[in-house]
Structure 1
């Protein structure tokens, strides 16, 4: 791997953190076969995390809920192997509900964060997102004793340095941003070559000084592996219209000698509103492969061909 490749770092909103335009996603390295369709061994997961920590990107994203904490545990082991968090590196995680009971109380969020600290081997967490708050109402999320109050308390106590929110529905994410509590946002599957649901949310985040991190630029895999391999978009069966448009994108990219994955990733990277883009990685060599996709030469003409192929609004996820 070319450890000498460098990527200019960008300020993540008003956090004071500076991060590379690509963020390594730690979901797959913990092994989530039900979501991604394949297993990742403990050894390979740790090796992948080591590659992420020693490669050209300085940003790694995980979650307490990924593979029941296994992603964080493997990253923690990798951190031990490399001698701690590298200088200037940002490890971000997320607090989750209890997947068994659905409990998303303040007490559960505190347990989630404390578990993350233990598994990662960190005495404080640089950036923690409230993860998938769509599983409760906004009122429950903001209620006394609820998850947001717990996060604010842990931030005040110094356990967490910066707070973010990560989730799906764009209107709900906007409501959380308007509280002024969160400094970073992860939106996923909603700002890609094919789906533009998050456009207005991203604009609002920028206007509020919130750092935008774009997750799932490949729509769960189809915009990287292609329609011959993947029939889903955002982990659900894709509509015929979505698949037709992605096939047209594949043809346009092939005509220019550009991998569809490179166009899908750079669609996000070239957007000045987006600070960093998360790419889930499950093998050590994929770190270098992602860097190659991020820098693949793409002619302006291709962007002009791809843009009209985006799905119409009635096909978006929102």
Structure 2
């Protein structure tokens, strides 16, 4: 199997492969992904992630109410712990029932992750989806960022990251100087490129960039015949028209649309690693094949102008 290089993740001191295994589907989220994942399949998939060609796995406390982390923890118990050089990242979440995103909630979230994963330290933890509160609330005394910094001082957390959607808000958090890693999702793909300025700013600040959802929630893998949703929402007909044109261009070059979608991200020098969610063990090897598929320059030239116009971006 391909031996993928390990790259510095900004100034974190962590070295990671250009593909990061996404743990969202491991815990079964049929409402989002459209299918169930059994506990055993999730655990087997996590084992494949830990023993495969990539050294980076991303999850979150809130994925399936902790099921993703529990299955990853079961996999770690099965293989005897985190492999040397492997980077396991998670995220602290708000209380989904009450909306509480206080410092106390962040501490509870991190403590829950440690328990479910069976670890005593977390090398990289992201503040997850802070768009659900104001920036001022996020940075306030007693708020989530203050709690993360306290956990870092206590040695519970190594590096701090921020993971979310709105690019302007993510940039505000990066400018605080607190975070050394960023996850942006659904905003730097073949279809949408609203995160361009954010990527530039992150690099200028020495922040490691991880790009999530390169497949736009699935349509850039399954194709328009299987789904009409981009970023988990029904896509505008103009966006679908452009994706159909991408499908035709890729087919003409015998390149899977998924390979082009993944490599659009991995070939960008500003992006250290790209998250690909997996829910079956065999998807690890399949993703490695997509990441190394030979794509001619002519295809990139054809795909570039097919990105959706700015009025269709999420921003």
TM-score interval for Structure 1 and Structure 2 normalised by the shorter chain: over 0.9
Q: Give, in whole Å, the separation in 1 of the partners of 2:6 and 2:227.
A: 33
Q: Give, in whole Å, the separation in 1 of the partners of 2:159 and 2:167.
A: 21
Partner in structure 1 of residue 291 of structure 2: 294
Partner in structure 2 of residue 214 of structure 1: 211
Q: Report the secondary structure of 2:150's partner residue.
A: helix
Partner in structure 2 of residue 203 of structure 1: 200
Q: Report the secondary structure of 1:75's partner residue.
A: helix
Q: Report the secondary structure of 1:91's partner residue.
A: strand
Q: Give, in whole Å, the separation in 2 of the partners of 1:78 and 1:278.
A: 19
Q: Give, in whole Å, the separation in 1 of the partners of 2:228 and 2:71.
A: 30
User: In the alignment, is residue 123 of structure 1 matched against residue 120 of structure 2?
Assistant: yes
Q: CA RMSD in A?
A: 0.4
User: In the alignment, is residue 41 of structure 1 matched against residue 38 of structure 2?
Assistant: yes
Question: Could you report, residue by residue, the CA deviation over 1:180-209 in whole angstroms, capped at 9, with x for unpaired residues?
Answer: 000000000000001001000000000000
Partner in structure 1 of residue 7 of structure 2: 10
- Residue correspondence of structure 1 range 116-195 to structure 2 within 5 A: 116-195=113-192
1:242 to 232, 239, 242: 239
With normalisation by structure 2, the TM-score equals: 1.00
Question: Could you report, residue by residue, the CA deviation over 1:32-73 in whole angstroms, capped at 9, with x for unpaired residues?
Answer: 111000000001000000000000000000000000000000
User: In the alignment, is residue 92 of structure 1 matched against residue 73 of structure 2?
Assistant: no
2:29 to 29, 32, 35: 32
User: In the alignment, is residue 270 of structure 1 matched against residue 272 of structure 2?
Assistant: no
Q: Which consecutive unaligned segments of at least 5 residues does structure 1 have?
A: none
Question: Could you report, residue by residue, the CA deviation over 1:229-281 in whole angstroms, capped at 9, with x for unpaired residues?
Answer: 01100000000011000000000000000000000000000000000000000
Q: Report the secondary structure of 2:244's partner residue.
A: helix
Q: Give, in whole Å, the separation in 1 of the partners of 2:251 and 2:138.
A: 46
Q: Report the secondary structure of 1:187's partner residue.
A: strand
- Corresponding pairs, count: 315
Question: Could you report, residue by residue, the CA deviation over 1:92-142 in whole angstroms, capped at 9, with x for unpaired residues?
Answer: 000000000000000000000000000001100000000000000000000
Q: Give, in whole Å, the separation in 1 of the partners of 2:24 and 2:210.
A: 15
Q: Give, in whole Å, the separation in 2 of the partners of 1:107 and 1:304.
A: 50
Q: Give, in whole Å, the separation in 1 of the partners of 2:105 and 2:26.
A: 25
Q: Give, in whole Å, the separation in 2 of the partners of 1:82 and 1:11.
A: 26
Q: Give, in whole Å, the separation in 2 of the partners of 1:52 and 1:88.
A: 13
Q: Give, in whole Å, the separation in 2 of the partners of 1:199 and 1:311.
A: 14
1:25 CA displacement: 0.1
Partner in structure 1 of residue 313 of structure 2: 316
Q: Which runs of 4+ in 1 moved over 6 A?
A: none
